[in-house]
């Protein structure tokens, strides 16, 4: 288990980041040491770990989530967790036998994605017939909504292998046809997405501006997509690294998923990159 952005965490310029309205798991650092302490009953010696049965990512997702509708989106059901993110992360790595996974953001509906999904559902003409990329897709909520609203093609991009598995399961449950992209489109020097640049008409981004490094790369990528002619819509509740200069399109009072945010209602805006 590693921090979501070790480089950024070491940067003194980020000293105030934990106070910013970042996803709870990020602000808390999702520290493995804290997880171990939380899980071990006081004064009870933990048995030596034996060989654990490793389950597939799909089996893990089904076992640790329930199908539920995200707040404000009764039209869609997703495999979602009510487990505390740090605890779910610990279980993910232990039960799937992988030690390299990022925090399980796929298991929660984030305010940015919810607002963007609601906006599209209320204005289906924005997405119908479009070739859509959902960047940092997480559960796949925004991509699934786009597919359900009649987008011509939808690609859901995420670098977390559990997320990309969850997106497939969630798409199936909702009868949404989409393609899952596991490549890191934000990686410096990534050249294989020229197809995306030339064909994508609409780029959707829900809640992706919570880490400085990722936000920086995402903004560069989104600007390139914009220059190539794509429209870029961003759902965001004012995370620490949301870029300035965006055009506000609509705002929503998004009820926070239990335990995920520092407040019960997250005011969230859908923005357009000019």
Ligand X SMILES: C[S@@+](CC[C@H](N)C(=O)[O-])C[C@H]1O[C@@H](n2cnc3c(N)ncnc32)[C@H](O)[C@@H]1O
> Is position 25 an interface residue for ligand X (rule: CB under 6 A)?
no
For residues 35 and 163, which CB has a smaller minimum distance to ligand X in the complex? 163
> Is position 163 an interface residue for ligand X (rule: CB under 6 A)?
yes
> Is position 164 an interface residue for ligand X (rule: CB under 6 A)?
no
Alpha carbon distance 132, 268 (integer Å): 22
> Is position 5 an interface residue for ligand X (rule: CB under 6 A)?
no
> Is position 84 an interface residue for ligand X (rule: CB under 6 A)?
no
> Is position 155 an interface residue for ligand X (rule: CB under 6 A)?
no
> Is position 157 an interface residue for ligand X (rule: CB under 6 A)?
yes
Alpha carbon distance 125, 123 (integer Å): 5
Question: Which position's Cβ is nearest ligand X?
Answer: 113
CB of 117 to ligand X, least distance (A): 8
Alpha carbon distance 134, 141 (integer Å): 9
For residues 37 and 183, which CB has a smaller minimum distance to ligand X in the complex? 183
Selection from 142, 139, 143 nearest residue 61 by Cα: 139
> Is position 113 an interface residue for ligand X (rule: CB under 6 A)?
yes
- Annotate 225-265 with DSSP letters as a single string: HHHTT-EEEEEES--TTPPSSPEEEEEEEEEPPTTTSSSSE
CB of 150 to ligand X, least distance (A): 20
> Is position 214 an interface residue for ligand X (rule: CB under 6 A)?
yes
Alpha carbon distance 219, 245 (integer Å): 12
> Is position 162 an interface residue for ligand X (rule: CB under 6 A)?
no
Selection from 120, 114, 118 nearest residue 138 by Cα: 114
> Is position 141 an interface residue for ligand X (rule: CB under 6 A)?
yes
> Is position 68 an interface residue for ligand X (rule: CB under 6 A)?
no
Angle at CA 74, nearest 5°, toward 60 and 201? 85
For residues 49 and 211, which CB has a smaller minimum distance to ligand X in the complex? 211
For residues 39 and 223, which CB has a smaller minimum distance to ligand X in the complex? 223
> Is position 136 an interface residue for ligand X (rule: CB under 6 A)?
yes
Phi and psi at residue 188, in whole multiples of 5°? Answer: -60, 135
Cβ atoms of 96 and 55 closer than 8 Å: yes
Place of tokens 């920086």: 216
> Is position 236 an interface residue for ligand X (rule: CB under 6 A)?
no
What does the longest C-alpha to C-alpha distance in the chain come to? 61
> Is position 106 an interface residue for ligand X (rule: CB under 6 A)?
yes
List interacting residues with ligand X (CB under 6 A): 23, 102, 105-106, 109-110, 112-113, 135-139, 141-142, 157-160, 163, 184-186, 206-208, 214
């Amino acid at each position: 288990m590693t921090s979501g952005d070790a480089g950024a965490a070491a940067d003194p310029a980020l000293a105030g980041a934990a106070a910013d309205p970042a996803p709870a798991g990020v602000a808390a650092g999702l520290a493995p040491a804290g997880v171990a302490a939380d899980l071990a009953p006081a004064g009870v010696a933990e048995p030596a770990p034996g060989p654990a049965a490793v389950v597939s990512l799909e089996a893990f997702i089904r076992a640790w989530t329930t199908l539920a509708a995200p707040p404000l989106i009764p039209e869609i059901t997703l495999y979602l967790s009510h487990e505390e993110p740090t605890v779910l992360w610990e279980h993910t790595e232990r039960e799937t036998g992988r030690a390299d996974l990022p925090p399980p953001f796929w298991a929660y509906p984030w305010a940015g994605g919810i607002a963007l999904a609601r906006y599209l559902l209320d204005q289906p003409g924005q997405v119908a017939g479009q070739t859509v990329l959902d960047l940092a897709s997480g559960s796949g909520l925004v991509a699934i909504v786009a597919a359900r609203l009649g987008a011509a093609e939808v690609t859901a991009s995420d670098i977390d292998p559990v997320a990309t598995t969850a997106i497939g399961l969630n798409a199936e449950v909702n009868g949404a046809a989409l393609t899952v992209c596991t490549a890191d489109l934000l990686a410096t020097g990534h050249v294989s997405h020229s197809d995306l640049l030339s064909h994508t008409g609409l780029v959707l981004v829900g809640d992706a501006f919570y880490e400085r490094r990722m936000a920086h790369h995402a903004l560069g990528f989104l600007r390139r997509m914009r220059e190539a002619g794509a429209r870029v819509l961003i759902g965001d509740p004012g995370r620490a690294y949301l870029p300035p200069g965006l055009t506000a399109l609509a705002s929503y009072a998004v009820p926070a998923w239990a335990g995920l945010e520092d407040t019960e209602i997250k005011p969230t805006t859908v923005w357009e990159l000019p």
